Every structure is written in C-alpha cells, then in structure tokens.
Structure 1
C-alpha cells in the first residue's frame, strides 16, 4: 500500500505550490510522496520545481484526464441550464474544467492507494499519519466545518435536495474540497454510469454551479453512501482546530499555527485570489491574513529571494481610492481609456 499527497497546480499558482511543498517537507516529512496534478498545460515553472524534488512527481496523462473530463462534462450536460449559462458567458465546455482533474486520484491507474488531496492554497502544519490511519476504517476522511454552510455545496432552493438527502445528512456530511483523504478505486466506471443516470433523472438540479467540482464531489460521495469521517465533528471540542484563513485567532509559534493550544493540521487560504499571492511575491506590500506564514514557507529555501517591503502595507481588502472609484464609474482605467 502506497500513501501520498495530491495537489492540483499550474504556473499561475506556482508560488502557492512552492509554499505547500515546503510546508509538507518541513512539517509532514521530507520523504512524503507528493504528486502534482497538472491543472492545464501552463507548467514550465511547475515542471522545473517538480524536477528539483526527489519526492515529488507530476501527473499529466492525457488519457486519464480525458476520461474524467468527459465524465464531468456528462455530469453538467445533465443539468438543465448549466452548459447554456456558461456558454453565454464565454466559458468553453464547462466552468473550471481543470479542477475536475483532481478526480484522477480515484482512478485505478493512479499512483497512491490511500491519498490526501490538498488545494495549492493550503499549508501543512503537522504530520498527516493520523489522517491516513483513519482511512483504515472509512472511505473518506475530512477535517473542516463546511457542514455549517451547505449553501456553497448544494442548490438549497432545489425541491429535489431533500428528496435525495435528509436534512441531517446535509448538515453533517458535506465537506470542503480543499482537503480530503480517500482511496484509489472509488467511483469505478460502472458506478459513475449509475450516478450519471441519477443526475439525468433530476438529481442534477441540486448541484451548485458556482463551485462545480466541490458540489459534484460531495454529491458523488453522498449518493454512493461511501463512509466518511470528519475530525471536526468527532474530536472533542477542546482538541479540534479550525483550518481557514478567515479565523483570526490562530497563534503563530515558530511558523506553526495553533488553535487554543492545539496544532492545526493545515491552513487553507480560502477566498484569497492567487493574483494576490503573485503580487506580493512580485514585491507589492499587500497585507493579508497569515501573510508571514505564507512567506516563510514560500521562501524557506530561498530566503534571499523573499520580498523586502519598504512601504506601508496595504490591506488586501481595502476599498479602492476615490480616484480609482471615479475612473471605474466612468468606465475608464487609470490611463484614461
């Protein structure tokens, strides 16, 4: 049995990928196998980074990608309006096509028997052995509080939703797709065909179009009744931790974050645009939650490359200046056109 970590990346999230890989190396172990799944073909920096690390590989298999992409396309074709809405917005095929490549981790041809998937905008804070161990008893293992916010998983206005899943399941089983552990071989072809038949018969109405892969993944797991364990729901209150950058009370001790004395498993910079990280790494002094933690891991092996900020930091969510607001209202850029 081979355990490992998957993530999904291209050159646009290069800085975040480096920070994630460094955090895994520093806090989970230098020899933990990691496979980077290619988000698309923009991979020049990613390929070089992967080549420099003995424990990291790159998955860019067109055959595996095509199979799962076609499955995802079939999923969304079963929805009454999704494809049309996206086409009208100029989105080819379906929204966020590259994100469905994370499903390749389930493929029987994939590298790891047990895996943990982490979005590129996460940082690992401790060894993950305890997560892998939980897969001995469950098919899915997660650690987040997404169950408190089902509106970002399913279309809550769909009358079909409570016909498929009970309110209790909705409020207890859903999870954020930025971190989850599972097993190779889940959702084999025959099961995928059955799931598609259910979606075509009306289940597709419950899918949440704004987060397509997160919604579909939750549906696949719940409809298949695969077992799930959520540390956030099962650990004693005084032992569980948060994981989201939106929590401002985490304590930084030697670049490890703690929640009321408990070490975080991972930190998810959810809701922060990759553009923000790229601008900061390019030298713009923009502050955002736990920025020093990100910069520490991003430049762990390249401290001389870390930006040296000399101006006063701007808040990442600061309102635009009066001048910019006026230009925007007039439909102009700062250059006047």
Structure 2
C-alpha cells in the first residue's frame, strides 16, 4: 500500500484507540488504511475492534518484532548504566520493550510505502494529505514543538552530546515520537549496525533513559542525517498550531480543536495516564484537559454508552484527600 497510518496499542489503551480510530475516520478519511501494532499479547479487545473496521488491520507477528527488540536491547546494552538500573527496578530486558515494535514500519517489507505514526493517546483533527505530500521531499516529517525542550530527548549532562550534534541541531531537529511520518526502507540492518558501533564507542551516554524509544529514534535520525522537516518550524507563526493538551488556550467547536482559529492537525494527551481515561469511561467524574473532545470521539458510534457522571467532579491532578493519604501511609490499597 502507498500511504497509511500506524499506531501502537493493547487492551490497556482500548478506549483511547477507539477514540483515535474514530477521529481518523471522521477527519482524515474513512478509507485511509490503519495498522494497529500490538504492544504486547494483551489485545483481545483490540482484535474485536479491528475486526469491526474494514480499513484497519492488526500486526502481531513476533518474528517481525524480534529484530527491533534485539536491536533495542543491544542499544541499551551499550549504555554505561541503563540495564543495571532497570534490573534493580525489576524491569526485564529494558524499559518499555513493547514500544520499539513501532519501528517495524521502517522495514523494507513493511505494509506502507509512506506512513504516519500516531500514539494511541492522540486524536486526528484534519486530513493528513499535506503530511504525506511533504514526504515527497523529505524522509522524515514531524509537527511539534519538542525542540523547545530537549530534556526529554537526550541526556543534556553528557559531555558527548555536543561532540556528536551541534547546538543548532539540538535546538531545531528533535521531536516528540508521538507523531511522525516516514517511509519504508529506512534504518536498514547495515545502518543499524553502524549506529550500534557508534553507541558502543561511548555515544550511548547521550541517550535519555526515561523515554528510551523516543531518545533512540531521535538519535537514529540525527546521527544518520536523514532528511527532516518540521511544520512547526516552517509554517508562518500565524498558521502553525500546537498539539499538546498542556496548552490551555485551544478552542473546541463542532468536534474540532482550534489554535487561534487554525485547525489542529492532532491533539496529543501527553502525560496523562491511560488509567485516567479508563476510569472516566467507567463513570468516574474526573476532569482533565479536553476531556469532552476525547469522549466525543470515544463514543461517536456508541452514544448510548457515554458515561453518565452523577458524582461531584474532581480534577485529575487534585491532591489526594486526607483519608486517602492516611490509607496510603498505612499501606492499605485505595484504588486511586
């Protein structure tokens, strides 16, 4: 297939996946192919959802995932402390193993010639043709403002960082891995071997352990000098839109989110736990940013299942009550 969308999901993010698929159907096109990559084996609900949609498929092939898992393991084995620290925390292999499965989209035998990857905690707000069109000129396309905060991409304390990349690159080329577009045939085995050789010579010190796959992907793209385009840096300031729910000034109208009159490309519920969405869908009246737009798309085809909130609303980031604090101190589960 020429163009398509990938996402990564399991049953833990089922509600978010349904909302994302509905937003793609309404705002990007009901016929655009979507492939859900299985985060792990916990995908029973995902399978049912995929089966109900003619344009959506599920990828759960361990052999395809294995080469990227092995590559990622070797990446972090090259790091001076990562594996040891994760083992001390009870983490097997390396942190967030399932996330690296998304990189099978780069394989030369992958499903789509050109693709957009979206995290499951995003909603599409407009057609994505302009993203695919930009891939005619560049091999990697993004649309975000992560370059303003490199602390979640690289280890800024590493003395190696400015030996490998220029300050200008760090200030303009990093991106959030929740949304990016690229092509099949990128980062093939020979390139991966070269990257591992560089990492084993000490460059792994620049990687950021708390967001391992995001850090590695940024390193791979920048280190191979893959051609790159960020709409946030190239659009006129009056046209560029944000995407994060941390922005409080967005306006919502008729199921679409706008930034100063401009339609967002996508909205990313970054930093909000999947448990929060699940609890709201179960009927807990928890308020979080742009909750209504999430619920709009989650229950677009099932309005009768929309939760009815009968309790007093509480903020998602409200401090725990006195009772909850006491129970926690006593080691008694609170369910929160």
Cα distance, 1:334 vs structure 2: 5.0
Instruction: Give the 3 Å change call, closer, same or farther, for CA 246–304 of structure 1 in structure 2.
Output: same
Q: Give runs of aligned pairs for residues 32-111 of structure 1, distance below 5 A.
A: 32-111=32-111
Question: Scaled by the length of structure 1, what TM-score is found?
Answer: 0.98
Question: Scaled by the length of structure 2, what TM-score is found?
Answer: 0.98
Q: Give runs of aligned pairs for residues 1-337 of structure 1, distance below 5 A.
A: 2-334=2-334
2: CA distance between counterparts of 1:72 and 1:64?
14
2: CA distance between counterparts of 1:75 and 1:64?
18
Q: Deviations over 1:223-248 (max 9, x none)?
A: 00001100000100000000000001
2: CA distance between counterparts of 1:327 and 1:309?
26
2: CA distance between counterparts of 1:69 and 1:310?
45
Cα distance, 1:62 vs structure 2: 1.2
Cα distance, 1:324 vs structure 2: 1.4
Helix, strand or coil: the match of 2:229?
strand
Cα distance, 1:190 vs structure 2: 0.4
1: CA distance between counterparts of 2:227 and 2:110?
21
Structure 1 range deviating more: 321-330 or 250-259: 321-330
**After the TM superposition, which parts of structure 1 deviate over 2 Å for at least 4 consecutive aligned residues?**
326-335
Helix, strand or coil: the match of 2:18?
helix
Cα distance, 1:310 vs structure 2: 1.4
Q: Deviations over 1:291-314 (max 9, x none)?
A: 000000000000001101112211
Cα distance, 1:109 vs structure 2: 1.6
2: CA distance between counterparts of 1:278 and 1:154?
31
2: CA distance between counterparts of 1:12 and 1:330?
29
2: CA distance between counterparts of 1:8 and 1:81?
28
Helix, strand or coil: the match of 2:177?
coil
> Which consecutive residues of structure 1, in runs of 5 or more, have no partner in the other structure?
none
Q: Deviations over 1:75-127 (max 9, x none)?
A: 00000110010011000000000000011110112100000000000000000
Q: Deviations over 1:128-166 (max 9, x none)?
A: 000000000001000000000000000000000000000
Helix, strand or coil: the match of 1:181?
strand
2: CA distance between counterparts of 1:184 and 1:22?
26
Across the two proteins, how many residue pairs are aligned to each other? Answer: 335
1: CA distance between counterparts of 2:247 and 2:155?
26
2: CA distance between counterparts of 1:250 and 1:298?
20
